[in-house]
Amino acid sequence: MKDKTHPKFYPNCKVYYNGEVVMTTGATVPEMHVDVWSGSHPFFTGKSSFVDSAGRVEKFQRKFQGDYFKNKKK
């Protein structure tokens, strides 16, 4: 393997979900903070949950409220 062509590899990268370590894996960063992982995803748990990162739902609702679609030209 050539020197200085690959990023540093961390074999014990800690994955954080809601402030706690949920797993370790190999990655190019020493730690990852995730919003969703298999232990919280509805497909794997069978429970529904609502994930809103950084107010995306509110931003969407503000953008498309009122007469947004009526003012569009066809």
- What pLDDT digit, counting tens, does each position of 4-61 carry? 888 899 999 999 988 889 899 999 999 999 887 877 767 667 776 666 666 777 777 7
Question: Chain-centre distance of CA 26, in angstroms?
Answer: 18
pLDDT at 65: 79
Q: So where are the chain's domains?
A: 1-44+53-67
- Comparing 55 with 73, the larger pLDDT belongs to 55
Q: Which residue has the tokens 């009122």?
A: 66
List C-alpha distances in Å: 57 to 25, 41, 53, 71. 31, 18, 8, 22
Model pTM score: 0.52
Look up residue 71 and give its DSSP letter.
T
